[in-house]
Amino acid sequence: MVKNTPWTPEDGAGETPKMARAALFLPEASDYIGSSPAESKSLAQPVTTSPFVQGLIQEAQHHHLPISVGIHEPSSDPTSSRIKNTLIYITATGQITQRYQKLHLFDLDIPDGPTMRESDIIEPGREILPPFPTPVGKVGSQICFDLRFPEPALALKRQGAEILLYPSAFMPETGAAHWMALLRARAIESESYVFAAAQVGWHNAKRRSYGHGVVIDPWGKVVVELGGEGTGEVEVGFVDVDLEKVERTRKMVPLLRRT
C-alpha cells in the first residue's frame, strides 16, 4: 500500500525518511489455522520465540517495510485455558509497536450448516486501541468478526483514523452473504479507507475461508478485490492511498451525529 505524499515524522514510530512510504497488510491468523481447539492452543507461541513472527521482523528490517499481521499468542493470564487472536504492527526497524486483541468472537450455529465457537478457544480483548500513525496513514485496528459492529469503527474515526483494518478468515457461508456489504458499510459510514486482507481456500479438512481480500475507499468504492476460494491462488493487491480523498469525502458529506 503506497502513500504518495512526503514523509513526515508523524508517519510512524520507528520509521525514517529513507524508508519506503509503504506498508504490507496480511490476514487474520496468518501464522496458522488449527484443525482442532487443542491444536490451535498448542501452536500458539510468544512473539519472542515464534519463528513466523521473528521471520517477519527480519523481512521488515531487510526490506524497510512495515508489516501488519494477525497471529495467535498465549494468554497473559496463566490460569486461562484460551489463547489470544491479535493483530500486531511491525515497524520498518523491526519493532512491534501495536498489539490489538480481537474484541468480538465468532460463535456460529447455522441449521444444517457449519457450527463454530471461537469463544471456546480465544479470549476476547477488552479495549479499542487508539489509531496509530503509519507511512500510509493513521490506522485503526479491528479483526474479522469486529466487522459486524459499527460502533468501534465510528469510535476510531472520531479519534482520527483514516484507514480501518479488518484482517479476516471469513467462512464462505457468511462471506458470500455479508462480507462485501459490511465492509462497504464500514467505509461509507466512517468515510475512511478499509483494508481487509483475507484468508482464502482450504486450511484443513474442516476449515476453509472465503477470500476476496479488498481495499475500499472513503466513498465506498472497491478499488482492489482479490480472488475467492475457488481460485486456489495466493494473491497480493497494491493500492495508492490518497489521504486527501478522506478529507474531501468528509467535507463533502459531513456526518454530524445526533446522539
**Three cell numbers, residue 74:** 498465549
Q: What is the number of domains present in the chain?
A: 1
What residues contact 76, with CB distance under 8 A and at least 6 apart?
84
The yes-or-no verdict on residue 12 having pLDDT over 70 is: no
Place 257 in a pLDDT band, splitting at 50, 70 and 90. confident
CA 132 to CA 65: how far, in whole Å? 16
Assign 218 to helix, strand or coil: coil
Which one from 15, 73, 84, 102 is the annotated catalytic residue? 102
Say if 188 falls within a structural domain. yes
CA 183 to CA 136: how far, in whole Å? 19
For the chain, the average pLDDT equals 91
Say if 237 falls within a structural domain. yes
Please state the rounded mean pLDDT for residues 35-40. 92
Say if 2 falls within a structural domain. no
Which one from 3, 15, 28, 162 is the annotated catalytic residue? 28
Q: What is the model's pTM?
A: 0.90
CA 234 to CA 225: how far, in whole Å? 13
Phi, psi of 93 (to 5 degrees): -100, 5
CA 20 to CA 3: how far, in whole Å? 9
Q: What is the pLDDT of residue 229?
A: 76
Say if 16 falls within a structural domain. no
Q: What is the pLDDT of residues 167-217, one digit of tens each?
A: 999 999 999 999 999 999 999 999 999 999 999 999 988 889 999 999 999
Which residue range is the domain that position 133 belongs to? 21-252
Q: What is the pLDDT of residue 115?
A: 73
Catalytic status, residue 102: yes
Q: If you search the block for the grid coordinates 468504492, which residue do you land on?
A: 221
CB 87 within 8 A of CB 68: yes
Please state the rounded mean pLDDT for residues 103-124. 84
Which one from 144, 162, 191, 229 is the annotated catalytic residue? 144
Q: What is the pLDDT of residue 109?
A: 75
Q: What is the pLDDT of residue 6?
A: 44
Q: Of 30-34, 104-108, 135-139, 226-230, where does mean pLDDT reach its minimum? A: 226-230
Say if 131 falls within a structural domain. yes
Maximum distance among all Cα pairs of the chain, rounded to whole angstroms: 55
Amino acid at 244: E
Helix %, strand %, coil % for the chain, to 5? 25, 25, 45
CA 135 to CA 1: how far, in whole Å? 9
Q: What is the pLDDT of residue 2?
A: 41
Per-residue CA distances from 176 to 108, 116, 229, 239 (Å): 15, 17, 11, 24
Please state the rounded mean pLDDT for residues 74-79. 93
CATH value at residue 162: 3.60.110.10
**Three cell numbers, residue 191:** 468515510
Say if 118 falls within a structural domain. yes
Say if 258 falls within a structural domain. no
The yes-or-no verdict on residue 15 having pLDDT over 70 is: no
Say if 9 falls within a structural domain. no
